[in-house]
Structure 1
Amino acid sequence: MGTFKIEGGIPLQGEVQPQGAKNEALQVLCAVLLTSEKVTISNIPDIIDVNKLITLLGNLGVKIEKLDRNTYTFQADNVDLDYLKSDAFREEGKSLRGSIMIVGPLLARFGQGYIPKPGGDKIGRRRLDTHFDGFINLGATFRYNREEYFYGVEAPNGLKGAYMLLDEASVTGTANILMAAVLAEGTTTIYNAACEPYIQQLCDMLVAMGANISGIGSNLLVINGVQELRGCEHRILPDMIEIGSWIGLAAMTRSEITIKNVSWDSLGIIPTAFGKLGIRMEKRNDDIYIPAHTNGYEIQNYIDGSILTMADAPWPGLTPDLLSIILVVATQARGEVLIHQKMFESRLFFVDKLIDMGAKIILCDPHRAVIIGHDFKSQLKATKMTSPDIRAGISLLIAALSAKGISVIQNIDQIDRGYEDIDIRLKALGAKIERVD
């Protein structure tokens, strides 16, 4: 289990290139199972969670060729369905949350899909009902082994298109049902579908493969099933969560940083959200320039003077993955903010580590925290801490880079699950960070 040693309080400077989007990669990698033809995907992030999924696909019999660090070809022309019933698959599948999205493509193409209860971040309940309710609506039979936590869906006679209103705008649920529906007979209508850029990217990829999808970018998707899909080439977007992480890091460390090639049109409300914290940034072509905030940054109140609340919401609202970063950045702002994490009841439990560092935070309940900013008049203190999940981990790393003294972060595998070479890229900006095995 790795550890980071960080000497904080050092302003950084330079340019950084964001990695490919983790959440998009997990979706489009599963989509290669929908065709027997070759699929080429570029800008794949070299991170633990994505590499685990690539390994799982290989164990399923998908032919994989690595063209360079971030570009692969996949050909699923000889899928080993027996592997789905093996003990090895039960162990491998449950270690990765994104593995749930192999079920839709397998069900659509082969009439069966199985998955152990998937893992991922320990941030609270993450139910799978939306996925399986969608498959049932398409005509699949569902079964669940409670003793082994093993899910299965089968449709030996094929899937039939249906109308469905999702009980929540689940991103992975929408992706899974969408991939099942593209090969179903007839028309499928998905209302209350997630519509974030990564779902739009998945739709564009499926259309390039021959799928018939309308309503892309909206919460109402209409899919006319086709008999088969072909190969394609696809490029993954920059990771909007990582871009938000770099924005927060630049402000918190009072650094001058340019984030290159961010795909501004896909960032939605993210620049506005950081702007509400008083963080200044400039759009330079497709780059984000963040000047050194030597005089700090001030949280905006509402127009009636009341304290700002920042809460997560389905796209185009603020993604919940950024609330942890916004929370830590607020600890050095001028003013106060209420953070309301609606979706996951354990995601704010890392704030005790920030309180140990001297942050002024009131944890109201599992979903809400009030942050009273220091305005850099009181620097955070270095400490020893453990990364509980990907986003809390990067937030603690940002806090450590701002803090006075040498901090130690253990369990950095959690950070590596979502961030490619984060220590190397920080060093290129002038950070003093050391990885210790």
Structure 2
Amino acid sequence: MPTPIATIDETHAPDLGSWVEGADMHPDFPIQNLPLGVFSVDGQVPRGGIAIGAMILDLAALAHSGLLEGEALAAAKAASGPTLNPLLALGTGPRRALRRAVSALLAKGSPKQPDVTPLLVPAHRARMHLPARVGDYSDFYVGIHHAAEVGALFRPEQPLLPNYKHIPIGYHGRASTIRPSGSPVIRPNGQTRGADGDLPRLGPTQRLDFELELGLWIGPGNTQGQPIPLGQAWEHMGGLTLLNDWSARDIQAWEYQPLGPFLSKSFHTTVSPWIVTTEALAPFRIAQPPRAEADPSVLPYLQDAKDQDKGALALDLEVTLSSAAMRARGEEPQVLSHTQACAMYWTLGQMVAHHTVNGCALESGDLLGTGTLSGPEPGSKGSLLEITRGGAQPLQLPREETRTFLEDGDEVVLKGRFMAEGRRSIGFGECRGVIASAPQI
């Protein structure tokens, strides 16, 4: 039998500290987190690492150090190359063994501190890469408040379509344009609707937007033709990342009927480079908020009592925006949104179960986006489309700057923090992108 994903063990102890300087005070990467990523230094070959405070533990070096054995050693070896796909494919057992071994090595009082210290690399010297080779990328639409508000902008008489509360809506995205945090976001060109019924025009989008999402990294895949039952979905998850699925709203409005988003979504998707593993998430799994009494019941393959009991996450999310002028003046970014991940109408497990119910094969390193996560209150919206009511209510920035949608030089940063009473909070690090001008055609 597989190790239960939700196991809370000694690695989560809130009083556990690390001998790594500053790690205990780090807002995202204390010893209770130990997220996985891929980094390189000074042009060397990329390899796997674990974040601890402001340092990175080199897993390739650790695998050759003689400090590990058994499943932990196998996991470190699988993470020694330029992608984490081999490690994700091993599943939760080896990942958990590696986590426990590394936690013991980094804990205060560890007798192995002199042996581990040379294996640490300052994070500021490292270049972060995508943590896995993304074979396929699908984006869902599980944020019901976003779906309802956007629907109301375009279909006031029917904001949610009849299928929304029966099926986790999703579409297939473009894996080749997923980039790690910090990569420039080049404004896309595309066709947009002409004014007053004129012929369409080709040019840079004028309605560039961000989308606050989570990304789910797939661990072990499934055999084609063999669906993943909801009760086993967490066994196929590797961990989470922040995800910004940048959107060209004017291109989208012209192209999306009848087949959905295409060029308006495929130009760039930004992810935070660290995978917060499902093992690290164990103390932050909470009950899925109950549905309204008037909501329909779902089909049996999307029903599981344990998933409802532990399928949601105690996760706060935030979006900030700074213009080029604000940064030049040294001004703080403006907070655009603060919301919670429990705003998801469908759980991560239901996303996985539905994605495979037709026999679709998921593979290690595949990425699933949740879709935009917004809350019901002002100040909790996960896109400018909602914040500015489709551009009708401009956003006020310092020094009389305004925005309806993003302009060149704007920087958007997503942040997320897992928090629960009696637990050390952990985070993702930043998911950052600066808008660059469109190329001339």
TM-score band, normalised by shorter chain: under 0.3
The normalised TM-score by structure 2 is 0.25
The normalised TM-score by structure 1 is 0.26
